[in-house]
Amino acid sequence: MLSLIQRVTRASVSVDGETIGAIGPGLLALVGVEPGDDEPRARRMAERLLGYRVFADDEGRMNRSLADSAGGLLLVSQFTLAADTGSGMRPGFSTAAAPAEAERIFRLLAAICREKHPLGVETGRFGAHMAVSLVNDGPVTFLLRA
C-alpha cells in the first residue's frame, strides 16, 4: 500500500462539479492499493497517516503529527500510484490491486482512520473521475509505504 501525502492548508475533491470531500489544514493522501494488501497493512498505513510527523512544532521543526495538530485527512484512491513505470513509455497496471479488492481495502483504511481520528476524515469516490484541488503547505510531500 502506498500513500502520497501532502501537507495542505486546504484540499477538496469533486465529482461532476459537486464537492464530495473537503478539509482545511491537514493532509491529502493519494492512496494506491497493491496486490496482497490486507487489513494489517491498512492498519499500518492508518497509523502512519495519523502519526507521521510533518507539522511544525513551536520551534518550526516537523515534530507534530496529524493527530497532534487536529487537522483533517482527505483520502483519495489513486490506482496509478501502484503503476509499473520501470520501462517503456506507457505505465502498466498489473502491479495495482484488482478494482474490487482495492475498493475493499481503501474503504477499510478510511474506516480505520475515522475510528482513530474522529476530528475529520473525508474521502473521494472510489473509481470515479475526480478533480482534486489543494494548496500544498510548504510544499511538503512524502511517499509512505505500509
Q: Which residues are catalytic?
A: 78-80
Q: Cα-Cα-Cα-Cα dihedral of 43, 44, 48, 50, to 10°?
A: 20
What one-character DSSP code corresponds to residue 61? -
Secondary structure class of 113 (helix, strand, coil)? helix
Residues 6+ apart with CB under 8 A from 100: none
Alpha carbon distance 23, 134 (integer Å): 9
Length of the chain: 146
- The position carrying cell 478539509 is 23
